[in-house]
Homo-oligomer: A and B are copies of this chain.
């Protein structure tokens, strides 16, 4: 099976972490070298990688620290410091669950390296299963609207469909302000030989109204226990529109966090410059304000079907 570079965007080789720099895609396929945990945390904060990339990165940061300190007698204080640094990077995404897991393993005296590598291996297999499960919801000739990027899962879903002789195509919102839709999703779908059409974020209702869309599939950055999700800003309004047009709305979820409902998920407000400028080009008049909530909450009742990622620990 051939994977999108976005399916597993982090590598660990000779104890150097390589992060696929998504901010340079689609122009350059470049990996950032990370030599210590502080640089790793910085890469998370600067959104050099997202979603599952960040989960993988969290474990690789711990693995790197472990290997760099293998002669130390007491690794615990260092692990705690690393956990604190990771947890402080971003408000919406809960890394706490991951860092707690590592600290508990350490406290129990479990073989840390094997635990972490085992976890990542399970994660990989479960994600492949998710793609397979999603593919079962799709019919031949379906046109799927997606938003932002689901880290390599869409090409995989299309591949599972193809094996069942179901040929599907995609519409993707460009996903302002970072353009993950056009830069990442359209790139990986095109690369996999799939039919993909980009629209601006304000065309969702129009393409639905024209009858062009049969299904919506999005990912999620955060899943609350009641099924509410936090995902890239814009997801909520697509879900409202899908409901209005009676189009099934599927969400490929990460493991549920401790939040009981979406109301408990804090929305990250990012710097307004990220919206007012694009790659150094000013898009708006000087001195004008902007508002940039990076995520929104889609309540569970708008989600036709969750495709869960069950993680056993």
Contacts and interface: CB of A to CB of B under 8 A. Distances in A.
A3 interface: no
Q: In the complex, which range does the number of interface residues on chain A fall in?
A: 35 or more
A290 B26 contact: no
A1 interface: no
Interface in A233-250: 233-234, 236-238, 240-241, 244
A203 to B, nearest CB: 6
A202 interface: yes
A205 B174 contact: no
A32 interface: no
Interface stretch (A50-58, A90-98, A119-127, A179-187): A179-187
Interface stretch (A69-77, A215-223, A280-288): A280-288
B291 A233 contact: no
A175 interface: yes
B296 A205 contact: yes
A279 interface: yes
Contacts of A26: 284-285
Most buried by B among A187, A190, A206: A206
Interface stretch (A41-49, A129-137, A193-201): A193-201
29 contacts: A26-B284, A26-B285, A179-B283, A179-B284, A182-B276, A182-B284, A182-B285, A186-B288, A187-B284, A190-B285, A190-B287, A190-B288, A196-B288, A197-B288, A198-B276, A198-B290, A199-B275, A199-B290, A199-B291, A200-B234, A200-B275, A201-B202, A202-B202, A202-B234, A204-B237, A205-B236, A205-B237, A209-B236, A209-B296
Interface of A: 26-27, 147, 171, 173-177, 179, 182-183, 186-187, 190-191, 196-207, 209, 233-234, 236-238, 240-241, 244, 275-276, 278-279, 281-285, 287-293, 296
Given A174-B284, A202-B238, A206-B293, 18 more contacts: A171-B291, A174-B176, A175-B202, A176-B176, A177-B200, A187-B288, A190-B285, A190-B288, A197-B291, A198-B289, A198-B291, A199-B275, A199-B292, A200-B292, A201-B201, A202-B233, A203-B233, A209-B296
